Amino acid sequence: MFDRVLLVPTRAALAPLARLAAKRGIGADTLTFAGFAIGILTVPTIALGWFLAGLALILANRLLDGLDGAVARLTQPTDRGAFLDIALDFFFYATVPFAFALHDPGANALAAAFLILAFVGTGSSFLAFAVIAAKRGLAGTDYPGKGIYFLGGLTEGAETIAFFCLICLWPAAFAPLAVLFGIACCVTTGFRWYWGWKTFAEPANLP
Q: Does the structure show a pLDDT above 80 at 143?
A: no
What are 48-81's pLDDT values in tens digits? 999 999 999 999 999 998 898 889 888 888 888 8
What number is the average pLDDT over the span 145-156?
64
Tell me how many degrees the CA angle 21-27-30 measures, rounded to the nearest 5.
110
Report d(CA 6, CA 31) in Å as an integer: 21
What are 111-139's pLDDT values in tens digits? 999 999 999 999 999 888 888 887 887 76
Residue 182 has a pLDDT of 97
Q: Does the structure show a pLDDT above 60 at 195?
A: yes
Cβ proximity of 112 and 163 under 8 Å: no
Q: Does the structure show a pLDDT above 70 at 109?
A: yes
What number is the average pLDDT over the span 5-25?
76
Residue 141 has a pLDDT of 53
DSSP 75-120: S---HHHHHHHHHHHHHHHHHHHHHHHHH-HHHHHHHHHHHHHHHH
Structural domains in the chain?
3-198 (1.20.120.1760)
Report d(CA 155, CA 83) in Å as an integer: 21
Residue 142 has a pLDDT of 56
Q: Quote the pTM value.
A: 0.86
Element (H, E) at 51: helix 51-74
